[in-house]
Each structure stands twice: as structure tokens, then as C-alpha cells.
């Protein structure tokens, strides 16, 4: 044994980049909703960026260590502690055998990520360690972690070089708080000009009915030229479906592979982490950008991540 779950928190699952290549047989992709925070957590402890981590939602777990290892906590700040001592976010930390790592309520944000150097010993299903609770596959028996669950480390370490420099400084956001950038389409032609205007200028609030599959929003009705039922087609990460009541739904990691509502736009990949960190009641607004701009942002995001990884790996 390497870690034992003392209390699981509200919803703690194992996640990585998710499943690629099985969409055509209907297997949802899954994976960390805030993939950016997962990448940072893994980089800090010297893992490959898509190693399996714990994704903790709203209220985190208490984890007992029976072996030493280096960990990092990223994403939402849940005031992490080792035993009774506060530990910093976005920083590699040594946890000793016998100590407890505890995450509390999310002060800001919604999802925290805990990485373990060398990774967790979890069998891959369809090429991924990600838990899909709806299909009961992947992760720990296809379910959220429970008290007394025990997981082994693969290659734990007692220490790492340059520990004091294994820190991630949050970059300043290049958008206003709560602004989500979207590329319009693929089915924006189902909506009236007023509907598009409403979508691009209104404030939408996350409802309680939001989870790893989708964020359901509430706000001004987006009017359409015709019913928004379409012949079922593929759903991407960040697809914004508009159902018959005119309310937008942002599709996330555990989304079904196909769906039958018109998609007015798609959240750009670099802004999915913003949605991932929204709690029910939080407000967002959509800003339309061109595909070329979206690609520029994506490339910059990748470049920054790789730069950060190189810096840490040099330590």
C-alpha cells in the first residue's frame, strides 16, 4: 500500500488525458476537466503531463501516506494541509509515510488536482487511467474513491532535485474574469440573429445540474429559427448545445460521444479550465473569436506549457 483514503471528499476520481480513439464505438473520452491544472501538477513532480492524478471536486479528500513521495496540488485552492501544517498550492511537496494530506472546501474554483511522483498504479482501460463513473470503467473499479480504498505508487521518490524551485506561478489571465472564448458553430445557422446576439452578450449562470458530463447554464433564451433537434452527430469537448428551452449546455469530459441538439458554438480548449473551475451559481459570458485566433491561443498555450516543463526538468 502507498496511500489510503481516510475520507474521499465530495467526489474524487482518478483522471488523465482520457480516452482517444474509441469515440466511434461510443466510449466517452473522460479525462481531467481542467487538463491544464493536471499538466502543471504532473510537471511539478517530474511526471509525463498526462499521468493519472486525483481530481477532487468542491471538497477534497484526506489521504494517509504509508510511503514517502513527492506530490503537488493544483487547480482550485482547497487549503491543502499535511497533518496540521498548511502547504502551498502549485508547489512540489514531500509527504512522509505516516502523514496525512488533507484538502478542505474549495475557497475559489471547483476542482483540485493531486499528482504523485512516478504515478499511481492503476490499470489502464481503453488506453487511459481515467474514471468514467457512468460506464463504470477506468480508474479505481470505475468509481469515485471511497474511505479505506488503497492505491499503490508506481515509482515513488523520497526527494527531488531543486525542490525549492518546483513552483508554478499562475500566469495572468488574458481575458476578463468569467469570459469564455468560443468559436461559433458548427450549427450556429440554426439560430436567429437575435439568438446569436443574446448568446454573445448575455450573462449565463451555472446551475446545480452541472457535472463532469456537462455544465448546464441558465440565462436569457437563445432564439432559434427552427427546433434545435438535429440528426445526432459527434460532440466535441466544449460543444455548446442549445436544447429546446433555449438554454446553453457546455459539454465536458464525460460527455456522450454523440448528441441530438444544435451546437451554437464551441469553447476553445484553452478556456475549458475556466469552465472546469466554475461552481454552480458562478456567472460567465461568451466572447466569439475567429478560428485563426483560437489556433494562435492554442499554440501559445502549448508553447508555455512545454517551456514550463523544460524549466522544471532542468532542475
Instruction: Out of 175, 200, 202, 256, point to the residue binding other proteins (CB under 8 A).
Output: 256
Cβ neighbour number for residue 25 with a 10 Å cutoff: 8
Binding segment for other proteins (CB under 8 A), chosen from 84-92, 97-105, 107-115, 262-270, is 262-270
Q: Contacting other proteins (CB under 8 A), which of 148, 155, 229, 298?
A: 298
User: To the nearest whole angstrom, how small is the minimum distance from the Cβ of residue 235 to other proteins?
Assistant: 8
Nearer to other proteins, 186 or 220 (CB): 186
- Bridge partners, 120 (sequence order): 153
DSSP per residue over 111-154, as a string? Answer: EEEEEETT-B----BTTB---BTTTTBSTBTTB---TT-EE-BS
Cell 468514467 locates to 132
- For residues 57-79, one letter each, b for 16 or more C-beta atoms within 10 angstroms of the residue's C-beta and e for the rest, the string is bbbbbbbbbebbbbbbbbbbbbb
Between 175 and 257, CB nearer to other proteins:
257
- Window contacting other proteins (CB under 8 A); options: 92-100, 104-112, 221-229, 267-275: 267-275
Question: Is residue 179 close enough to count as binding other proteins by CB under 8 A?
Answer: no
Give 156-196 as a DSSP string.
--S--TTGGG-B-PPPPPSS-TTEEEEEE-SSGGGB-HHHH
Nearer to other proteins, 71 or 137 (CB): 137
Asked whether position 89 contacts other proteins by CB under 8 A, the answer is no
- Helix pair 35-44, 291-314: axis angle to 10 deg: 20
Q: Which is nearer to other proteins, 26 or 98 (CB)?
A: 26
Minimum gap (Å) between residue 52 Cβ and other proteins: 17
Kindly list the residues in this chain that would bind other proteins in the complex (CB under 8 A).
20-28, 125-126, 135, 137, 182-183, 185-187, 231-239, 256-258, 263, 266-270, 291, 294-295, 297-299, 302
Amino acid at each position: 500500500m502507498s496511500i489510503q483514503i481516510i475520507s474521499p471528499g465530495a467526489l474524487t476520481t482518478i483522471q488523465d488525458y482520457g480516452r482517444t480513439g474509441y469515440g466511434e464505438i461510443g466510449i466517452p473520452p473522460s479525462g481531467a476537466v481542467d487538463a491544464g491544472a493536471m499538466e502543471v501538477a504532473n510537471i511539478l513532480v517530474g511526471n509525463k503531463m498526462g499521468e493519472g492524478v486525483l481530481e477532487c471536486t468542491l471538497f477534497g479528500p484526506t489521504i494517509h501516506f504509508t510511503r514517502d513521495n513527492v506530490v503537488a496540488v493544483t487547480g482550485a485552492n482547497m487549503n491543502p494541509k499535511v497533518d496540521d501544517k498548511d502547504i502551498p498550492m502549485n508547489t512540489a511537496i514531500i509527504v512522509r509515510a505516516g502523514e496525512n494530506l488533507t484538502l478542505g472546501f474549495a475557497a475559489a474554483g471547483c476542482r483540485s488536482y493531486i499528482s504523485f511522483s512516478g504515478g499511481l498504479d492503476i490499470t489502464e482501460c481503453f488506453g487511459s487511467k481515467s474514471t468514467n463513473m457512468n460506464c463504470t470503467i477506468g480508474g479505481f473499479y470505475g468509481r469515485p474513491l471511497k474511505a479505506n480504498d488503497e492505491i499503490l505508487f508506481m515509482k515513488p521518490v523520497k526527494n527531488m532535485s531543486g525542490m525549492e524551485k518546483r513552483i508554478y506561478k499562475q500566469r495572468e489571465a488574458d481575458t476578463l474574469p468569467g469570459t469564455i472564448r468560443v468559436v461559433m458553430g458548427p450549427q450556429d445557422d440554426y439560430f436567429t440573429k437575435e439568438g446569436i446576439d443574446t448568446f454573445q452578450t448575455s450573462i449565463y449562470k451555472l446551475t446545480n445540474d452541472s457535472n463532469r458530463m456537462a455544465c448546464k447554464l441558465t440565462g436569457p433564451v437563445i432564439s432559434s429559427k427552427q427546433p434545435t433537434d438535429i440528426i445526432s452527430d459527434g460532440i466535441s469537448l466544449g460543444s455548446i448545445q442549445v436544447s429546446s428551452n433555449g438554454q446553453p449546455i457546455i459539454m465536458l469530459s464525460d460527455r456522450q460521444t454523440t448528441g441530438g441538439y444544435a451546437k451554437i458554438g464551441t469553447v476553445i480548449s484553452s478556456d475549458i479550465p475556466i469552465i472546469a473551475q466554475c461552481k454552480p451559481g458562478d456567472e460567465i459570458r461568451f466572447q466569439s473569436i475567429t478560428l485563426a485566433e483560437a489556433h494562435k491561443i492554442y499554440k501559445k498555450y502549448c508553447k508555455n506549457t512545454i517551456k514550463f516543463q523544460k524549466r522544471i526538468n532542468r532542475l
